[in-house]
Structure 1
Amino acid sequence: MKYKNIITMASIFFSFVSCSQEENYIGGSISGGNSEITSVFPVPPSQWMGESDPYYSAGYTGDIMPFFDNGKFHIYFLHDAQNKPAGKGFHDIHEYLSTDLAHFTYEGQMIPYGKTTDPDFAIGTGSVVKVGNLYYFYYTGHNETPAFVQSNARESVLCATSSDLKNWTKISDFKITAPTGYYNYDFRDPHVFYNDELKKYSMLVSTQTEPGRKAVLLHYTSDNPALGKWEVQTPIYTTTPEDNYLMMECADIFKMGNYWYLIFSENWSGNKGTHYRISASINGPWTKPQNDRIDGEYFYAGKTASDGNKRYVFGWNARKTPENDLGNKDWAGNMVIHELIQKSDGTLGTQAIQTVKDLFSKKKKTVEVDAVSGNAVANNGTYTLSGAAQKALVTFKPIGKKAKIKAEVLLSDANGTAGFVFHTNDTGSYYKIVFDLAQSRVIGYNSAGQEMTSLPFQLQTNVKYNVEIITEGSVTVLYINGQTALTNRIYGRDKNKWGLVSEGQNAVFTNLEVTQPE
């Protein structure tokens, strides 16, 4: 991924569940390994290498590189340390391990960053492939120190090998840089897989044409990765004049049913997020669906892995700087995972992972009404909000750090919005996630009324929509009809009131239920 300027920050504490300055960090292992994480949206533990070096403070989950092997998800990720002292590298590769994607252990650092003179002074996204009895981890080397880039490419593809997915050895003489006609300043995120159609190994690399600066996913092939020889082919996909993307990062490619899917992330247009394309062949042509995003822009760098039965997409929920409701979106945060589903027309949908939902299936929490305003009526679990003339609002008391909210939502009018609010303070301001029929979108707004994230969704009047919200700390993911997900970052959500809202709209919320883990 593209790297922002790195600045040294004062050490602050934050929790596994919310990355919030308001809470203390809990749990974690000093050296990594078999340290169970109590979060379904994890961040790495603090002081993972001991307390003597401030670099090893609390961190965030950056780009995720999942790999399924022998019944386990090896979830590699770029560790974004909260403190990055001058002169040291960053974004070393760490690992979470899981068998069910609802419980995780933190396994520590897997691949360290290099020295100032090395191409991997910083590390970028990559992927793992097994060849024979050996695992190959292809990853991005990134070094933009002035002394290095005077005579070297800023970004390159590097490789490390392992026989056990734990102990990795860098191949010192392996390095791929941008070929003639492509831009060596942006050349990253290798995705390697065995290509059944070619009977070879394929590697996709995110780069740009030079000259022209058009985003492409360059294609390399190899008969045998053990030989270290990769031959460049024509790009597997080039940005269209319509999209005109600057970069297409963190590419992934897979087949589901009769279709191939190409996934990439883009962070510079007016349609930021994880996108996908569809084709009947791995060679294209690739079709852009009407809604080509996996989630909103607060879910980024989505890459997939399958256990042979289901396929899941792994991304990170962006944090904010400063870490409050009005902060600016920043790189890295908590890991969020959705199950991918294939609809009848071949397009992709997202739903909550069943094992995660099961965590919240036993302990019901009483929904306590705090206040009712406007033309709103609460009656035996049914909430009628007649907000066509003026805003109608029902608020409930806080539900704590971890909760699952379920409800059915029916909208009566073609205009206006209705949905859920999550308060950030006692002044009456709130973050809201609402359904907008006129725009055919589900939208998240912060307490200042600024749109944070959104996703197209075809809404109709007088149709019940099944909503599930899984929330932990400041991470809040809303699922609609088990086919669409919208991930939000809502600071203070767990300590403050939440509720239902209708503005310019008449809405009915039924079967409202809140459950928590045991």
Structure 2
Amino acid sequence: MREFFYRPDNAWVGDVIPYYEDGEFKLFYLHGWRENYQEGLDHGWYLVGTKDFVNYRADGACKIQGGTGHVLKVGGTYHMFYCIFPPGKQLVCHAVSSDLKTWEPIPEHTFAADDHIYELSDWRDPFVFWNEEEGQYWMLLAAMAKGPTNRKGCTALLSSKDLNTWEYREPLYAPNLHVGAHECPDLFRIGDWWYLIYSSYTGRFATFYRMSRSLEGPWLAPGEDTFDGRAFYAAKSVSDGKKRYLFGWNPTKDDDLFGWNPPKSRGQDYHTWDWGGNLIVHEIVQRPDGTLGVKVPDTVDAAFSQPLPVQYQGITGEWTIADQSLSCDSPYGFAGCASREELPEQCKISARISFSRETQGVGLMLRTEDTLDEAYYVTLEPQRNRLTFRGKIMQSEEGGKTFPYEVELERPIELVPGRHYEIKVFIDGTICEIYVDESIAMSARMYDIPRGKLGLFVSQGHAEFSEVRIDARLVG
């Protein structure tokens, strides 16, 4: 079965450069061949079109060999800004097109970092927009500012009146937080707030955002300043005029691209994350206080709406089971139940969950079996106000001794006893996309348990599950 979350044939999706026009999202992306690369094949920018994030049309290579950048239209001309990496350098390049397919580079517009403000080592991922207040274009870049420490990662700023010549300016945002450049910068406005997005692979590995009432700053870090966890990266956004969407990739653990896999690993879930994977799209949601959350796009949600008949059986603990509602009181231990049917390779699981004040953990077991010995656990942990993901690694002596973290993935979330939380989990082969309350997202991968049932559990407390459904993907 073809994967639901897009990737090209025999290759992978890297950084996405989204553009919207005439009712279609035109998604440029870096094409990751990996071991399938063959001499003579283009491996730079590719283009794919979609109107709904469900059906995609591959338009092929753009003949641009370079890294992440930006596309904008001025008059009847499309402008592409991107980066290249000659030995020891990083340079910004400019190309133009009349149809988004055939691009003509302008070599004389290529430029490097300014050696007085920025380090020459990092100068990539240009993002360009028209600043109405100044009456000129601004360019943001992933860069390293001059400074006394290695915490030089910044969002560089340049300005231009014609898109041809650029003036170097002090960084837009240089917080001395990261020892790596602020990758894939993006900037947009919703209401009274400006939002700056960037990705970092040092300190924390994620796509971050900052917010400000003015382009002059200050750029505020909200209490939770990321959109997703470790398995979602290099995200950039675009609006269709009504909603804004965030495009990133869920990395694989297939190829050991950096040679960091444990030498005696017994399972693929132990492996390190690769560069590139499958395209993941979140819809950005602005909360009343101006902070941002993300939800599953409506079209993706609707693509999984074929309900499957499911019956549940209690495995441990005293469960009350009635149709799509289940509850269990287990104040002193773990209690779990499981479906009698196996989960499809592609499906959506949805439920409303509430819990009592003393509850330590409650959630879903993905691909479990009747003994509940192994599963992927999606857990709400009220005592720690977090959503966690644990795989097979943590359920064995080997994992307990060798895996250096308590959990594999986690996201902060305020968890209030007695309140109902809506959870949606999308499974597509090894891909797992988790959403809570149309506000919190967590991407994951599942390799070592290829099939199994749906389980529900509560640990040291009381929980109620309602509107529990398993929906298959609509095809056709």
- Residue 98 of structure 2 is aligned with which of 163, 178, 202? 163
Tell me the SS of whatever aligns to 1:448: helix
Tell me the SS of whatever aligns to 2:348: strand
- Verify the 8 A CA contact 1:16 1:42 in the aligned structure 2: no
Give the match for residue 281 of structure 1: 214
- Residue 125 of structure 1 is aligned with which of 61, 65, 68? 68
- Residue 246 of structure 2 is aligned with which of 288, 313, 316? 313
Q: Distance in 2 between matches of 1:157 and 1:125?
A: 10
Which amino acid in structure 2 is aligned with residue 513 of structure 1?
R
Instruction: Give CA-to-partner distance per residue, 1:204-253, whole Å, 9 cap, x none.
Output: 0111124544111111111011xx2111111110124xx34532111100
Q: How does 1:180-329 map to 2 (within 5 A)?
A: 180=115, 181-211=117-147, 212-213=149-150, 214-225=152-163, 228-240=164-176, 243-269=177-203, 271-321=204-254, 324-329=268-273
Distance 1:137 1:295, change over 3 A: same
- Verify the 8 A CA contact 1:400 1:494 in the aligned structure 2: no
Instruction: Give CA-to-partner distance per residue, 1:440-487, whole Å, 9 cap, x none.
Output: 111111211252222110001111111122222222222111111111
- Residue 440 of structure 1 is aligned with which of 385, 388, 396? 385
Distance 1:371 1:109, change over 3 A: farther
Tell me the SS of whatever aligns to 1:392: strand
- Verify the 8 A CA contact 1:435 1:442 in the aligned structure 2: yes
Give the match for residue 105 of structure 1: 57
Tell me the SS of whatever aligns to 1:413: coil
Tell me the SS of whatever aligns to 1:346: coil
Q: Distance in 2 between matches of 1:331 and 1:485?
A: 20
Which amino acid in structure 1 is aligned with residue 18 of structure 2?
P
Distance 1:316 1:424, change over 3 A: farther
Give the match for residue 25 of structure 2: 73
Which amino acid in structure 2 is aligned with residue 170 of structure 1?
P
Tell me the SS of whatever aligns to 1:288: coil
Q: Distance in 1 between matches of 2:344 and 2:424?
A: 17
What are structure 2's unaligned runs of at least 5 residues? 256-266, 395-404
Q: Distance in 1 between matches of 2:237 and 2:349?
A: 26
Q: CA deviation at 1:406?
A: 1.5
Q: Distance in 1 between matches of 2:31 and 2:469?
A: 36
The answer to whether the aligner puts 1:43 opposite 2:7 as a matched pair is yes
Q: CA deviation at 1:283?
A: 1.7
Distance 1:471 1:112, change over 3 A: same
Which amino acid in structure 1 is aligned with residue 91 of structure 2?
S
Tell me the SS of whatever aligns to 1:390: strand
Q: How does 1:367-378 map to 2 (within 5 A)?
A: 367-369=310-312, 372-378=315-321
Tell me the SS of whatever aligns to 2:49: strand
Q: Distance in 1 between matches of 2:218 and 2:78?
A: 31
Give the match for residue 139 of structure 1: 82
Instruction: Give CA-to-partner distance per residue, 1:243-287, whole Å, 9 cap, x none.
Output: 345321111000001110001111221x32111111111221111
Instruction: Give CA-to-partner distance per residue, 1:92-137, whole Å, 9 cap, x none.
Output: 1112101222321111111343xxxxxxxxx321110112211111
- Residue 280 of structure 2 is aligned with which of 321, 324, 336? 336
Q: CA deviation at 1:82?
A: 2.6
- Verify the 8 A CA contact 1:424 1:492 in the aligned structure 2: no
Q: Distance in 2 between matches of 1:283 and 1:16?
A: 47
- Verify the 8 A CA contact 2:229 2:411 in the aligned structure 1: yes
Q: CA deviation at 1:377?
A: 3.9
Q: CA deviation at 1:89?
A: 9.2
Q: Distance in 2 between matches of 1:493 and 1:125?
A: 35
Tell me the SS of whatever aligns to 2:302: helix
| Most deviating of 352-361 and 340-349 | 352-361
Q: Distance in 2 between matches of 1:467 and 1:204?
A: 36
Q: Distance in 1 between matches of 2:134 and 2:36?
A: 43
- Verify the 8 A CA contact 2:304 2:471 in the aligned structure 1: yes
Instruction: Give CA-to-partner distance per residue, 1:155-214, whole Å, 9 cap, x none.
Output: 111122111011112223331211113222221111111112211111101111245441
- Verify the 8 A CA contact 2:368 2:454 in the aligned structure 1: no
Q: CA deviation at 1:71?
A: 1.6
| Most deviating of 408-417 and 431-440 | 408-417
Q: CA deviation at 1:402?
A: 2.1
Percent identity of the aligned residues?
A: 29
Tell me the SS of whatever aligns to 2:269: coil
TM-score (ref. length: structure 2): 0.88
- Verify the 8 A CA contact 2:331 2:459 in the aligned structure 1: yes
What are structure 1's unaligned runs of at least 5 residues? 1-14, 18-38, 46-57, 114-122
Q: Distance in 2 between matches of 1:204 and 1:220?
A: 7
- Verify the 8 A CA contact 2:359 2:459 in the aligned structure 1: no
Tell me the SS of whatever aligns to 2:171: coil
| Most deviating of 186-195 and 375-384 | 375-384
Q: Distance in 1 between matches of 2:82 and 2:323?
A: 55
Q: Distance in 2 between matches of 1:414 and 1:168?
A: 61
Tell me the SS of whatever aligns to 1:100: coil
Give the match for residue 403 of structure 1: 347
Q: How does 1:456-475 map to 2 (within 5 A)?
A: 456-475=412-431
